[in-house]
Amino acid sequence: MSSKDAAGKKSGIDADAVRELSALLKETGLTEIEIENNGARIRVSRAATGAVMAAAPAAAPGSASGSVPNAAPAAAPAASGPAPGAVTSPMVGTVYHAAEPGKPPLVKVGQSVKEGDTLFIVEAMKTMNAIPSPRAGVVKEICVENGAPVEFGQTLLVLG
């Protein structure tokens, strides 16, 4: 899809702004950000899977920005996504393999898990968050060390 309109002028979609906002989402771990400038509005949000989506700018009719009202959302390339069966971190924090220090790990490689079983604990802002299994499967690989910092979307383990 071209970013030029029928008259050959560039549309009001600022691709650089969308890229910058997408990078800011990734850097901060936020799931959505919206800016407004001179009546033009851009919203960029990250789906739970880590894909980045950008909403079309919503500008007032006849505004100087010349936005395209029916612009399609832009998606990040799928090639850089997690491996099949990957369970990713829903937040930035510190990952723990056990519910309490000195206790056995919640899961081990080769263990079968059911949907909803707690796989890890991620501490974020002094709050302990249980990370549930999104589906049933067998733990094929644990990709993080106990007590390690994790980023939003980082692969924690792989289910087979």
Co-location of 73 and 105 in the same domain: no
Distances (CA, A) of 5 to 61, 68, 73: 15, 8, 17
Is the pLDDT at 3 greater than 50? The verdict is: no
Kindly state whether residues 96 and 36 are assigned to the same domain: no
pLDDT greater than 60 at residue 26:
yes
- Clarify whether residues 98 and 124 are in a common domain: yes
Instruction: Identify whether residues 154 and 90 lie together within a single domain.
Output: yes
pTM confidence score:
0.50
At residue 55, does pLDDT exceed 90?
no
Q: Which of 80, 144, 78 is nearest to 106 (CA)?
A: 144
Q: Which CATH number does the domain housing residue 145 bear?
A: 2.40.50.100
Model pLDDT for residues 61-102, shown as the tens digit of each residue: 444 444 444 444 444 444 456 678 899 999 999 999 999 999
Cα within 13 Å of Cα(106), Cβ side: 24
Contact 146, 96 (CB under 8 A): yes
Q: What is the extent of the structural domain holding 91? A: 86-159
Same domain, 126 and 93: yes
